[in-house]
Amino acid sequence: MKQAVSAPDAPKAIGPYSAALRAGSLLFISGQVPLDPVSGVMVDGTIEEQTSRVLNNIGALLAAAGLTFRHVTKTTVFLADMNDFAAMNRIYQTFFDEPYPARSTVQAARLPRDARIEIDAIASCDV
């Protein structure tokens, strides 16, 4: 059985998809871009500011499902510019503890709303 998960302190989906979806013991969090959850406007600023906003949005969806970043088992990071990797990574690591989730990081030609970063995540409710 699938159950959509949303949070008042995370942006609403900007298309025909769920911001997060629980299926069995897994929570799938759709790619999050740095949207302010109140205004729905893209957070302008550095890659550090955008990364922080994205991860705070993911944290809000995790909390709405009764989970934390410790439950995250896999992430995919999409960067508009791979030169932002080190700065993104400095912020990213402050949200997670060891053992860190598995991760893929790729450069994308263009991200939704011309964001500099997008991150999706999978969390296990059993962790």
pLDDT, tens only, 20-77: 999 999 999 999 999 999 999 999 899 999 999 999 999 999 999 999 999 999 999 9
Look at the chain and count its residues.
Answer: 127
Nearest 5°: the CA angle 104, 96, 12 is 75
Phi, psi dihedrals of residue 47, rounded to the nearest 5°: -60, -30
Q: Where are the domains of the chain?
A: 2-124
Which of 117, 112, 116, 110 has its CA nearest to residue 14? Answer: 112
- Read off the pLDDT band of 14 (50, 70, 90): confident
Whose tokens are 């998809």? That residue is 17
Please tell me the pTM assigned to this model.
0.96
- Mean of the per-residue pLDDT values of the chain: 96
For residue 103, CA distances in Å to 12, 32, 43, 74, 86 come to: 24, 15, 24, 6, 15
pLDDT value at residue 66: 97
CATH architecture for residues 2-124:
2-Layer Sandwich (3.30)
pLDDT value at residue 30: 98
pLDDT value at residue 54: 98
Whose tokens are 């799938």? That residue is 28
